[in-house]
Structure 1
């Protein structure tokens, strides 16, 4: 009788023999198994993506080597998506036994991937359609999901790779670009890549070199032009009217690992001489000489966050961002941004060239720091947090650039821009007979316009945080720019010093110039309001209150009654469409009357007017040249540059 020890040894021998036999059988029938795997993949491609996968030759080389020839993936009734003439690879045998594919070596000789889109659709449509999958109530663990996806992706990156004669092609409605990988080699964790990029009338060589270790999840790569030229990105200019390029990009992945249930992603990226040109950004090239982003991402089971130890550097401007998204019971979005103490002059000289052209040549002294805090809960939108605070220390502008804010205090010439065309010059000063000093403008008009446009004008310093909050909430709810938060100060800066162009550049310049104008007390509030009343558009080719009061009522601004002032305040958002508010020369349309009544009640509530102010508040009586327009169909309802707080102003 065998002892217990002998039985254990016998069991181990039998298990070893069975395992060895399994390996032998697997080796003997490996090509048959491979054919069945390919057949299943082909069936899945045809079932789920309406694509036909064909492989002319597929066989094992040794135990873990695989060789394929003439691989094609062709969508139904569409252009070939993938073609590879020859592909050789090796996989980890032990990982393959447990169903985990990890590529060790890869060789590709000739082939391409092409994305084609035409009037009939694209050859990749099927891969973009969302599949209806059965889901349970189990919450997604963001950290585990992202870790699994990144692991699977990196496992498909071979540790030894040689690719030649392989191209990536795009044909989007005849807009073609080809990325030809003339060299792509990864050996001993060193990556060397040469890419010939061609498009209509464009040809350039790109290189990607550096350190890459897909198994240890680390990389340090540089993307540049071997001829030291600026890398230009084709396709984007014709597709999105976006011209962009750069000198080089450096990408570093230092850490990608799970720790205590959270996924940590650490590293940095930098770019030199980035150029961007798009009509929605600025009217000329925007250039950033140096930018760097040191990132520390943390992904937990129910949150994602950019840690506050991360830094963003734009030339000499350094800031510390914090961004987070949390999805427990509510979805909460948060943003914090801090610019530590820095000199004002360093800030000005670090601004991207072309984005702040009115600041070019400006000089300042003093220091400042800045902090922004934003938080939004989708279930409690009215509890939004928006706090923006700039802390100046001896901040003063010593030299102005193109926008000389001092000109607002003297006589100057203003020219409105309508549809890109400069209008007739308006002299803002005593030499213009229509210029009206503030003390000669009806106090009713001042109260009506301030109540409608900017009630806290005399107390704020250019911006109203509460208005920004309300604007953000409405824009998020409507998923569009449905409301802005423009103050009279912002309207004034835009009209006097900037243009009507709807660009990011103009909006950013507007914000900075308003801060300088208001917080350096360059002009009094009374002078700002006086200029505002004398330049804004109040009708077709009607600028300033002097012209407006005569155009509508054959009066001087001082003699306007409450009804007339309500009318003038109401047409500021759409001055050329003033006719749409009137039934006739003496009667408002119902919606306009309701607006006037609301404004009147508001002024009564705020004690801006009393019952005695309405004595002699006669009917409207449009008696000036504007009366002839009431007999015509409105042809232009262009919105004035001075928009009310209820409308979006960009």
Structure 2
């Protein structure tokens, strides 16, 4: 009778024999198994993606090495998507037994991937369709999901690779770009790649070199032009009007690992000589000489965050960012940004060239620090947190750049820019007979405009925190830029010192100039309001309240009655379309009357008006040159009949 020990040994022997037999059978029938795998892939491609997957020849070389000849993936009635003349690879046998694929080496000789889009469709559209899968009752664990995806992806990156004569081709409605991999070699964890990029009237060599270890999840790579020229990115110009390029990019991944149920991703990226040009960004090239991002990402079961130990550097500007997204009972979005104490002049010198052109040449003394805190809960939008604090220390502007804020205190010439075209010059000062001091502007008009445009103008320092919060909450809710938070200070800076172009550059300059104007007390609030009334557009080629009072009512600004002031206040957001507020009898349409009534009730409620002010208020009559526009009006414009009197600009 066998002992327990003997039974164990016998079981191990039987298991060993069965395993050996399985390996022998696998070795003997590996060719037929490979053919069946290819057939299954072809069937899946035809069923799910309407493509034919064909391999002219496929065979094992040893137990784990494979060689394929003439691989093609061709969508039905479309251009070939993939073609590879010769491919040799090896797979990790033990990984293969568990159902995973981990490539050891890869050799590719001649072939291409081409993405073609025409007016009749594309050869890759089938692969973009989302597959409808049954909803899982269990919540997705972000850390485990991302770890699994990155593991599977990195397993497909071979530890040794040689690619020759392989190309990636793009053809988007005739816009063609070809990336020829003249050389791609990964050996002993060292990567060397040389890519020839050709497009319409464009040809460049790109190189990628450095360290890459897909099994240990580490990399240190540099992307550059071997001729020391700026790398230009083709296709984006023709497709998106985006011209961009850079001298080099450095990417480092030092850690990608699970720790206590959380996925940690650490490393850094840097870029030199970044150049960007787009009509929505700025009117000129935007240049960033040096930028670096040291990142520490943490992914948990139901959250992901950029840790506050991360750093972002733009030239000499260093900041500590924190970004987090939590998806539990509520979805919470959080952002914190801190700029430690730095010299004001270093900040000015570090601003991207072309993005802040009105600041070029500006000089400053002192230091400052900055902190931003934003948090939004999708179930509690009214509790949105938006705190922006700049702490100056001896901050003083000693020399202005193109935007000389001091000119607002004296007589100056103003020229509006309309669709990029300078308009006639307007002198803002006593030498202009239409210039109107604030004391000679009807108090009704001042109250009406302040109520509709900026009720807290005399109390804030350029910005209204609560308006910003409401604007952000509404924009997030509607998933579009539905509302802004422009103050009279911001409108004044935009009109007098900047342009009306709707670019990121103009908006950023506007914010910084408003802060300087208001917090350095360069001008009084009364003078700012006086200039505002004398420069803003009130109608077609009508600038300043002096011209407006004559244009509409043949009066001086001090003589305007309440109804006339209500009308002028409601057309400030869209003055050129004033005529569409009237019907064929030259009477205000219903929506325009309702806006005036709403504004009146609001001022009565805020005790800016009394019931006595509304007694004896004469009907609105257009008697000036504006009457000709009412007579010539033929096609009515689409207007907003909403009672909302708050109009916001980009």
- With the length of structure 2 as denominator, give the TM-score of the two structures: 0.97
RMSD: 1.5
Deviations for 1:140-183, whole angstroms, at most 9, x for unmatched residues? 10000000000000000011111111111101111111111111
Please name the residue that 1:24 is paired with: 24
Q: Is the 8 A contact 1:576 1:638 kept in 2?
A: no
Please name the residue that 2:421 is paired with: 421
Please name the residue that 1:322 is paired with: 322
Instruction: Give matches, 1:67-466, under 5 Å.
Output: 67-466=67-466
Deviations for 1:467-520, whole angstroms, at most 9, x for unmatched residues? 111111222222221111110000010010101111100010000001001111
Q: Which blocks of at least 5 consecutive residues in structure 2 are unaligned?
A: none
Deviation larger for 95-104 or 54-63: 95-104
Please name the residue that 2:3 is paired with: 3
Please name the residue that 1:471 is paired with: 471
Q: Is the 8 A contact 1:68 1:88 kept in 2?
A: yes
Q: What displacement does 1:635 show?
A: 6.9
Please name the residue that 1:548 is paired with: 548
3-state DSSP class of the match of 1:39? helix
Cα distance change, pair 8–611 in 1 and its aligned pair in 2 (3 A): closer
3-state DSSP class of the match of 2:31? helix
Deviations for 1:167-212, whole angstroms, at most 9, x for unmatched residues? 1110111111111111111111111111111111111111100010
Q: What displacement does 1:637 show?
A: 7.2
Cα distance change, pair 351–635 in 1 and its aligned pair in 2 (3 A): farther
3-state DSSP class of the match of 1:133? coil
Deviation larger for 625-634 or 439-448: 625-634
Q: Aligned partners of 1:306, 1:100: CA distance in 2, in Å?
A: 31
3-state DSSP class of the match of 2:265? strand
3-state DSSP class of the match of 1:71? strand
Q: What displacement does 1:4 show?
A: 3.1
Deviation larger for 612-621 or 122-131: 612-621
Q: What displacement does 1:124 show?
A: 0.7
- With the length of structure 1 as denominator, give the TM-score of the two structures: 0.97
Please name the residue that 1:561 is paired with: 561
3-state DSSP class of the match of 1:126? helix
Q: Which blocks of at least 5 consecutive residues in structure 1 are unaligned?
A: none
Deviations for 1:29-57, whole angstroms, at most 9, x for unmatched residues? 00011111111111111111111000000
Please name the residue that 1:43 is paired with: 43
Cα distance change, pair 358–645 in 1 and its aligned pair in 2 (3 A): farther
3-state DSSP class of the match of 2:20? helix
Deviations for 1:5-51, whole angstroms, at most 9, x for unmatched residues? 33322222222111111111110000011111111111111111111
Q: Aligned partners of 1:44, 1:399: CA distance in 2, in Å?
A: 69
Q: Aligned partners of 2:358, 2:581: CA distance in 1, in Å?
A: 38
Q: Aligned partners of 1:540, 1:586: CA distance in 2, in Å?
A: 18
Q: Aligned partners of 1:87, 1:376: CA distance in 2, in Å?
A: 51
3-state DSSP class of the match of 1:84? strand
Deviations for 1:63-90, whole angstroms, at most 9, x for unmatched residues? 1111100000011111111100011011
Please name the residue that 2:515 is paired with: 515
Q: Aligned partners of 1:471, 1:618: CA distance in 2, in Å?
A: 37
Q: What displacement does 1:99 show?
A: 1.1
Please name the residue that 1:59 is paired with: 59
Q: Is the 8 A contact 2:218 2:256 kept in 1?
A: yes
Deviation larger for 579-588 or 121-130: 579-588
1:533 aligns with 2:519: no
Cα distance change, pair 647–444 in 1 and its aligned pair in 2 (3 A): closer
Deviations for 1:275-300, whole angstroms, at most 9, x for unmatched residues? 00111100010000000000000000
Deviations for 1:510-535, whole angstroms, at most 9, x for unmatched residues? 00001001111111110110011011
Q: Aligned partners of 2:2, 2:402: CA distance in 1, in Å?
A: 101
Q: Aligned partners of 2:4, 2:335: CA distance in 1, in Å?
A: 67
Q: Is the 8 A contact 1:434 1:547 kept in 2?
A: yes
1:649 aligns with 2:617: no
